[in-house]
Amino acid sequence: MARVTFREERCKGCELCIAVCPENIIILADHINAMGFHPATVVEQEKCKGCAMCARMCPDLVIEVEREVAGCE
């Protein structure tokens, strides 16, 4: 199980994270953030594999990926 979160206020809508997500679950939101960009967000969170490709690609450290570690409760 993995969870991906976006610090929307820092996103400039460059779409790099969208291009690399193997599950195609990242989109640009309809609303506009404080910087005037459509921020990236995740849809179908349950499909996230926790690969963190999106977080590695983001130049603005917008994305945080949390993975459940086997054996931990």
Residues that bind ligand SF4 (CB under 6 A): 4, 6, 11-17, 20-23, 25-26, 40, 42, 48-54, 57-58, 60, 62-63, 65
CB of 55 to ligand SF4, least distance (A): 7
CB of 5 to ligand SF4, least distance (A): 10
Helices vs strands, H then E, count in the chain = 2, 4
Q: What is the 3-state secondary structure (H, E, C) of 7-35?
A: CHHHCCCCCHHHHHCCCCCEEECCCCCCC
CB of 6 to ligand SF4, least distance (A): 6
